[in-house]
Amino acid sequence: MLTHIAVVNHSRRSDIDIAFEVEAVARQLREHVAPLWDGEPPGMAFYGTAEHVPADKAAVLGYVNDDGNADSAGYHTAAGSFIYGLIDVNQSRVPSVTLSHEGAEMYGNPRLDRKVRGKNGRFYYVELNDPVQEQTYEIEVTVFGQTRQVRVADFVLPAWFGLPNPPAAGTRTTYLGQPLAPFEIARGGYQIAESPEGEIIFLASTLGASLRRSKHSRTMRIVDKMISHTLAQT
């Protein structure tokens, strides 16, 4: 798990809007995500631009106008010891949701290498938001004396991956309480898994789901590292 996420702005979005979004997602990670994943909450702070980020910070998420990838509104990845990600404001319909999505998944699976064995012998990537990516909720935050309602992303709990929930989570599989069975994907969501033979499989609730242009995924970044992939249903 990460200890800190630094957010920087290299986009046309205003610093004040991003400050509200960072405050909301920091609160979500601290009060919602980390306790229900039984982990230490990561810090998240807005540093303005990358020049202001201390060299020892664990990860960086940057807002950009266009990341050059037409397949996602956000992603994160790792290059050696450096963990980073981007929020593409041209593609993101609600940047605060994309920040929430990437922040939570960066926290839960910073190097994209955490997997659990699930249905049909597949290995499921521990991606906290992909299965419920269409579901959102609001968090109220106050910055510089102003109060706003900021929209953030729903996320799945350990029980969704067949793992034990911490006591605070009860038997829920999602934060918002959507009644999903383990490894069941909500409408509009998807999941990345590997077959026992090592092939990447895109799992969706319906074959009509938009996988190529999923709003918040790093799907294509993972696929770029693979030789082949398959479209499948759960």
pLDDT truncated to tens, each residue of the chain (234 aa)?
A: 678 999 999 999 999 999 999 999 999 999 999 999 988 988 999 997 777 777 666 799 999 998 777 777 898 888 878 899 999 999 999 999 999 999 999 999 998 899 999 988 999 999 999 999 999 999 999 999 999 999 999 999 999 999 999 999 999 999 999 999 999 999 989 999 999 998 988 888 764 444 433 444 444 444 443 323 333 333
Size of the chain, expressed as the number of residues it contains: 234
Total domains in the fold of the chain: 1
- CA distance readout (Å), 164 to 36, 68, 133, 158, 171: 11, 39, 22, 6, 9
What is the enclosing helix (H) or strand (E) of 223? helix 219-223
Residues linked to residue 36 through DSSP beta bridges, in sequence order? none
Contact 75, 107 (CB under 8 A): no
Domain boundaries, position 225: 4-233
